[in-house]
Structure 1
Amino acid sequence: MRIYKLLPVLLLVLGLTGCSTSTVYIVRHAEKINEADSSGLTAVGLERAQALADRLEDERISQILTTPYRRTQETARPLSQRLNLPIDSYPAKPVGAVVELIQQTKGKNSLVVGHSNTILEIAQGLGTKPTKTKIESGDHDNLLIVTIKNGIFGTSVSLQEETYGKPTEP
C-alpha cells in the first residue's frame, strides 16, 4: 500500500530531472570592413559587438559559438571577455553541425554568431519559423532568441525576434 503513495512522488522526481530549458541567442556578425573572409569589424561593428555584450551579460550564457571567421569572433569577443568564457568555433556550413551541438547542450544558454545566410537556417533547424525569409547585406541588428523547453511531456520550442544596438546609417 505504501508503494502506491510513493509512486506519484517518484514519477515527479523522475520527470523533473528530465526537464530543462535552454535559450539560444543567434546573431549575424556585426558590420564588417569588407567582403574578405579575413575582414574585421568597422568602428560601428565594434560598437554593435559591445551593445550585444550589454544586452546578453545577464542572460546566463555558458557557451559562445562562432564560425572560424574574424568578424564573427570579434562580434562575440566583448561578451566572451565580460563573462570570462572561451569562444568555441563551429563550421559555417552545414548548419546542421551547430544545430546538433546546441541540441546536445540541454539546460544551458548559448550565443551563436553566424552569417546572413546561416542565422535563419540555424533558427529553423532548432524548430522555429522566423518571420524574415532573408537577411539583407546591410542588416546586422537581428537577435533571434530560441527557447527550448524539455519536459516530461515532450519538447517545446519558441522564437522571439528582436533587434539590438543602434540602427546602421545607410
Structure 2
Amino acid sequence: MKKFFFLISLSFLCLINAQAQTTEIWVVRHAEKDKSNPQEKNPDLSEEGKTRARDLAIYLKKEKLDVAFSTPYKRTRQTLDSLVIPKVIDYTDIKSLVEKVKADYLGKKIIIAGHSNTVLEIIEAFGGKRPREELTDDDYDFIFRLNVKGDKAKVKMSQYGVPHHL
C-alpha cells in the first residue's frame, strides 16, 4: 500500500513539474521568396531572403535551439538553414503542431517557421495574444518570442535584419 501511494505521489509531482515548465518558442515567417516565376508554387528564397535567413541566424546566435518546425515548403526550410538545429520537423497543420510541442518538447527551446497567414494563428494556438492585427505579404522582418506555460503564453515581438517598415 505504501508503494502504491508513493507511485501516485511521484506521478502527481511529475505532472505538476511538467505543467510548471516554460517552453520558449520563437515564431518567424519565412524569409523573402523568389517571385520571378509567378507560376512556381514552391519557390526558393530570393537573394534578399537568403540574406534575411543569415540575419535570423545572427539574431538567434546565443540561443541554443533544441528543435525546429517547418512547413514542407522550400522557403520555410531555407529560412532555417543557417541556424544550428539538431532536428527539423515538418508540420502541416497548427493543431497537430501544438499537440506535438506540448507532448514532446515541454521546457525546450523551439523555433517555428510559418507563413504570413499562419504565424499569428500559431501564437494564438499556444495561448498568446496577437501582437499585431495581421501580417501582410511584405512583413518578413518580425520575430515573435513566446514563453509558454500551460495554456498561456507571453508574447514579445521584435524585428531582425533589414527593417521592412522604415
Deviation of 1:57 after TM superposition, in Å, equals 2.4
Kept in 1: contact 2:69–2:111 (CA 8 A): yes
Post-superposition Cα deviations, 1:43-91, rounded to whole Å, max 9, x if no partner, equal 1111110111111122221001100000000000100xxx252321111
Q: In the alignment, which residue of structure 1 is the partner of 2:44?
A: 40
Question: Within 5 Å, which residues of 2 pair with 1:109-120?
Answer: 109-120=109-120
Post-superposition Cα deviations, 1:119-157, rounded to whole Å, max 9, x if no partner, equal 00000000011221211111101111110135xxxx642
Q: In the alignment, which residue of structure 2 is the partner of 1:162?
A: 158
Post-superposition Cα deviations, 1:98-125, rounded to whole Å, max 9, x if no partner, equal 1222222201010000000000000000
Distance 1:169 1:162 in 2: 12
Distance 1:121 1:169 in 2: 22
Identity %: 30
Q: CA RMSD in A?
A: 2.3
> Moved runs in structure 1, 4+ residues, more than 4 A?
none
TM-score where L is the length of structure 1 = 0.79
Paired residues, what number? 151
Kept in 2: contact 1:37–1:69 (CA 8 A): no
Structure showing the higher strand proportion among its residues = 1
Q: In the alignment, which residue of structure 2 is the partner of 1:90?
A: 91
Kept in 1: contact 2:128–2:152 (CA 8 A): no
Question: Which runs of no fewer than 5 residues in structure 1 stay unpaired?
Answer: 1-9
Counterpart code for 1:70: K
Aligned-partner SS, 1:78: coil
Question: Within 5 Å, which residues of 2 pair with 1:66-105?
Answer: 66-79=70-83, 83-91=84-92, 94-104=93-103, 105=105
* Cα distance change of structure 1 residues 43 and 125 upon mapping to structure 2, 3 Å threshold: same
Distance 2:129 2:164 in 1: 25
Q: In the alignment, which residue of structure 1 is the partner of 2:108?
A: 108
Question: Which runs of no fewer than 5 residues in structure 2 stay unpaired?
Answer: 1-8
Question: Within 5 Å, which residues of 2 pair with 1:7-156?
Answer: 14=13, 17-18=17-18, 19-34=20-35, 36-79=40-83, 83-91=84-92, 94-104=93-103, 105-150=105-150, 156=152
Counterpart code for 1:161: M
